[in-house]
Amino acid sequence: MNKNYIIPNEWSIIEDGFDAENVEASESLFSIGNGSMGQRANFEEDYSGKTFQGSYIGGIYYPDKTRVGWWKNGYPEYFAKVLNALNWIGIHIQINQTNFDLNTCEISNFKRELNMKGGWLSRSFNAVLPSGEEIEVATKRFISVKYNETGAIQYSIKAVNFSGEITFSPYLDAGIENEDSNYNEYFWETIQIIEGENQGCILSKTLKTEFHVGTSMRVSFAMDNQEVQPRQEIAIQEKSLTYFYKLSVLKGETATIYKYGSYVSSLNYKNEELIDAAINNVSKAKEIGFETLLKEQIKSWNEIWHTADIVIDGDVKAQQGIRFNIFQLNQTYMGTDARLNIGPKGFTGEKYGGSTYWDTEAYCIPFYMATKDASVAKNLLLYRYNQLGKAIENAEKLGFKNGAALYPMVTMNGEECHNEWEITFEEIHRNGAMVYGIYNYVNFTQDFEYIAKNGLEVMIAIARFWHQRANYSAAKDQYVILGVTGPNEYENNINNNFYTNYLAKWCIEYTVECLNKVKHEFVEDFERIVEKTNLTAEETYKWLEVADNMYFPFDEEKNVFLQQDGFLDKEIIPVAQLPKSERPINQKWSWDRILRSCYIKQADVLQGMFLFENKFSPEEIERHFDFYEPITVHESSLSPCIHSILASSIDRIPKAYEQYLRTARLDLDDYNHEVHEGCHITSMAGTWMAVVQGFGGMRVWEDGILNFNPQIPKEWKSYSFTINFRGTIIKVYKSQKDCKFFNESEKEISLFVNNKKISIPSNKLVTV
């Protein structure tokens, strides 16, 4: 696999020259989406080389039966898969009756661009077919942000050295499979195929989950930019609908097909409305026209960038990297629908099943909260609130009682649905992230009402879980939490994971604190909640007994909290002493060797210090950083960002920068040799945090006050970012010499910079 083939550019991802080896990686990197749906950058024309087809609709999944050798009680019954949906982008092409397959052509001048500023994807190239005809191809495609069920393609072919016939055969294909199917099952059933003049639709449903989806297409044509209407022929097969249009071209002429496609699903329509809705979407798109749709698309993305952009001056690759991350995060989730969430691979691949992980609360909420309206982060919280019943069921299945909730590690609808038993199942720390997400949101937005209306019920159920999950150890005369896996998945079934115990204690304390506040400030809600949950004061005293007496493994000599009981029995050898040939250890070592080694996959104790930095002194953070970072292999994409932020907080900017580089271009430079499977979307939110919270030092703790402590790596001339703080747009600029704040709003704002209070009048720039 070729690495580093992406051409540095501030606003675009560019591939120059065709290399079949890069096709699958580029399909991931050039993916497009609009938060509701998305697709890999598969070619429209036929391609018989290696490719990974992918087009996904948010919320449309299949419960694939879990594949395990030895079933145990409590196993999740299925692993949810976001479905590879029907293909609406495809266009078979024939040039003088020869099939145009890019894999069999001589290709020159190949250029692919993902324009992040405007949210569109283009390709241009010359191809000589085996039969000798040379064509010049130019394509443009986007998934509309404004009309979020619709996408559009412009596909032009110029006859370079021949006069003759070009046949465009646009099609809809329902014969689509998932590569990651556990039992090679087919997940879709075709219900109806509807043909029409220049437009058509396939109505299908997913097996088991019975989501109904209408997929439609509408086409139009132009010769040298003049609209033409060639004669249409139709072929309907069991799972596909294809139209054929023949256009005569003279040498030098350009034939263009416009293809509009749409997905509509039973998430938003009644089943019987789907065909009309799908057809309406594409007819409307055709009426608006490709150029106008594109203009609207550029406008939508301009608005997104206005409150989300990060500008880095003096380092084009860093600039491209951070914009790519911000772009992909927006393509994955726009925040308008509380039924959707952020899959670790977004709409760029099948891995992780497109499901929701703790990644959302631990990594993604800060990005969406600070770059969008508060309703977006609130929708992410409501997603979990709406799944509380299922989280209580999950806990009941495992033997917990009295309304205790265990949120799933992996989910689509609230049910636990992971594929890997030991690792994922024991990661009960995710329950703490649910509460942390609420805490983070409330500090940032000051929307405490959310806790009274929704959050508190989630928090009570989680406090109940921790109370029951911890047990009293007579030997220690303290409470312990046994048999868990921390964020570091290279240790399983351990006792007293510092991170988990810390979160458990904190969750209980924070819940009780919020209960008291709701009791006094939202009396009606308090009464409603107490009645609904049967909560008594006595019960909360029992929770507090556990929280007050929680055990934390600690080593006096090293003066550090230990990741878990017995951690120091391990042979501690820094990662730097491992031969390069043995890295990454998850590919080179046996699982047995990994489990007993000291190597940490991702921040664990340090993840706790990141979340609760205000509860630890800088010296404590430094000491723990120095102990744990050297034995961390960062083999989760979620690891370097946390280390980068902590390094910034202890004024180690070179180290912070080193870790930042590992996260910012993880996919563009394919550090993990796996970008062909899809991009690491949730870690992209960590990259954003590494700039805003790391270098920019942005914090909002319980007092609700906004703080900054901007620092800058020596490699950058300057950087700036924008945040939406409670409706006030603030731009922060930091160069090697200056630090400036611009208040782009109608009201004055006060904030702290390097611990000093400053006020910025409306629409004014203040230099600090």
- Active-site residue list: 489
**Residue 763 contacts by C-beta under 8 Å, 6 or more apart in sequence?**
743, 744, 745, 746
Q: CB-wise, 301 or 324, nearer to ligand BGC?
A: 324
What are the start-end ranges of the H helices in 534-672? 537-548, 585-588, 591-596, 605-611, 618-628, 639-649, 653-664
* CA dihedral of residues 660, 664, 666, 671 (deg, nearest 10): -50
Q: Which of 358, 367, 490, 502 binds ligand BGC (CB under 6 A)?
A: 358
Q: Which stretch binds ligand BGC (CB under 6 A): 303-311, 350-358, 748-756, 759-767?
A: 350-358
Are 85 and 215 in contact by the 8 Å Cβ rule? The answer is yes
Please enumerate in sequence order all residues whose Cβ is within 8 A of that of 165, keeping only pairs 6 or more positions apart, or say none. 94, 95, 96, 97, 246, 247, 248, 249
**Minimum distance from CB of 628 to ligand BGC (Å)?**
16
Contact with ligand BGC (CB under 6 A) among 357, 425, 657, 695: 357
Distance in angstroms (rounded) separating the CA atoms of residues 117 and 305: 8
- The Cα 110–Cα 7 span in angstroms is 13
Decide: residue 390, CB within 10 A, 0-12 exposed, 13-18 middle, 19+ buried: middle
What mask of x and - would describe binding to ligand BGC in positions 101 to 120, judged by CB under 6 A?
Answer: --------------------
| Contact (CB, 8 A) for 470 and 542 | no
Mark the segment that binds ligand BGC (CB under 6 A) among 12-20, 355-363, 391-399, 745-753.
Answer: 355-363
**Least distance (Å) between residue 487 CB and ligand BGC:** 6
CB atoms within 10 A of CB 637: 26
Strands 560-561 and 554-555: antiparallel
From 353-361, 366-374, 493-501, 615-623, span contacting ligand BGC (CB under 6 A) = 353-361
Q: Which of 454, 636 has the CB closer to ligand BGC? A: 636
In DSSP terms, 55 is beta-bridged to 39
Supply the DSSP string of 697-758, one letter for each residue.
Answer: --EE-TT--EEE-----TT-SEEEEEEEETTEEEEEEEESS-EEEEE-SSS-EEEEETTEEE
Residue with tokens 């692919």: 112
In angstroms, give the least distance from the CB of 368 to ligand BGC.
Answer: 17
Nearest approach in angstroms of CB 681 to ligand BGC is 9
Under the criterion CB under 6 A, does residue 636 sit at the interface with ligand BGC?
yes
d(CA 169, CA 608): 56
**Count residues contacting ligand BGC (CB under 6 A)?**
11
CB of 689 vs ligand BGC, minimal distance in Å: 15
* Sites for ligand BGC among residues 308-347 (CB under 6 A): 344
Nearer to ligand BGC among residue 5 and residue 352 (C-beta): 352
With respect to ligand BGC, which residue has the nearer C-beta, 418 or 505?
418
**Residue 91 or 600: which CB sits closer to ligand BGC?**
600
499 binds ligand BGC (CB under 6 A): no
Residues in the chain: 768
Pick from 602, 632, 644, 659: which binds ligand BGC (CB under 6 A)?
Answer: 602
- Residue choice 359, 491, 613, 670 for contact with ligand BGC (CB under 6 A): 359
Q: At closest approach, how far in Å is the CB of 16 from ligand BGC?
A: 31
Side by side, the strands of the sheet bearing 32-33 are 32-33, 37-39, 55-65, 78-84
Token pair of 2, please? Answer: 């070729």
325, 688 contact by CB (below 8 A): yes
With helix as H, strand as E and coil as C, how does 436-505 read?
Answer: HHHHHHHHHHCCCHHHHHHHHHHHHHHHHHHHHHCEEECCCCEEECCCECCCCCCCCCECCCHHHHHHHH
The nearer residue to ligand BGC, 113 or 674, going by C-beta atoms, is 674
Query: At closest approach, how far in Å is the CB of 683 from ligand BGC?
Result: 7
Q: Tell me how many degrees the CA angle 621-625-626 measures, rounded to the nearest 5.
A: 120
Tokens, residue 177:
């499979």
Tokens of 503: 């979160």
Q: Which is nearer to ligand BGC, 167 or 387 (CB)?
A: 387
- 450: its two tokens: 């959310």
Please count the CA atoms within 13 angstroms of the CA of 766 that sit on its side-chain side: 18
Selected range binding ligand BGC among 19-27, 316-324, 351-359, 554-562, rule: CB under 6 A: 351-359
Rounded least distance, CB 23 to ligand BGC, Å = 25
Counting contacts by CB under 6 A, is residue 644 touching ligand BGC?
no
Q: Which residue is nearest to ligand BGC (CB)?
A: 344
Site for ligand BGC contains 604 (CB under 6 A): no
Residues between 674 and 693 with contacts to ligand BGC, criterion CB under 6 A: 682
CB 274, min distance to ligand BGC, A: 32
By CB under 6 A, residue 434 contacts ligand BGC: no
- The binder of ligand BGC chosen from 305, 333, 352, 506 (CB under 6 A): 352
Q: Is 109 left (phi over 0), alpha (psi -120 to 50) or beta?
A: left
Q: Is 421 exposed, middle or buried (0-12, 13-18, 19+ CB in 10 A)?
A: middle
Tell me whether residue 638 or residue 641 sits nearer to ligand BGC (CB atom).
638
* Identity of the residue, 169 or 424, whose beta carbon is nearer to ligand BGC in the bound complex: 424
Residue 716 makes contact with ligand BGC by CB under 6 A:
no
Distance between CA atoms of residues 577 and 569, nearest Å: 19
Least distance in Å: CB of 328 to ligand BGC? 14
The single residue among 217, 434, 638, 691 that binds ligand BGC, judged by CB under 6 A, is 638
416 sits near ligand BGC (criterion: CB under 6 A):
no
CB 415, CB 472: distance < 8 Å:
no
Residue closer to ligand BGC (CB basis): 420 or 715: 420
Stretch that binds ligand BGC, among 179-187, 298-306, 354-362, 547-555 (CB under 6 A): 354-362
140 vs 384, beta carbon nearer ligand BGC? 384
Considering only the C-alpha atoms of the chain, give the largest distance between any 2 of them, rounded to a whole number of Å.
90
474 exposure class (CB count in 10 Å sphere: 0-12, 13-18, 19+): exposed
**By CB under 6 A, which span of 10-18, 357-365, 610-618, 641-649 interacts with ligand BGC?**
357-365
Binding mask 438-477 for ligand BGC (x = CB under 6 A): ----------------------------------------
Beta strands in 225-335 (DSSP E): 226-228, 232-237, 240-249, 254-265, 310-313
- Between residue 478 and residue 497, which ones bind ligand BGC under the rule CB under 6 A? 487, 489
Note whether 576 and 570 are within 8 A (CB): no
CB 584 within 8 A of CB 511: no
Kindly state the smallest distance separating residue 117's Cβ from ligand BGC, in Å: 28
**Residue 11 CB, nearest approach to ligand BGC (Å):** 28
Binding site for ligand BGC (CB under 6 A): 344, 352, 357-359, 487, 489, 602, 636, 638, 682
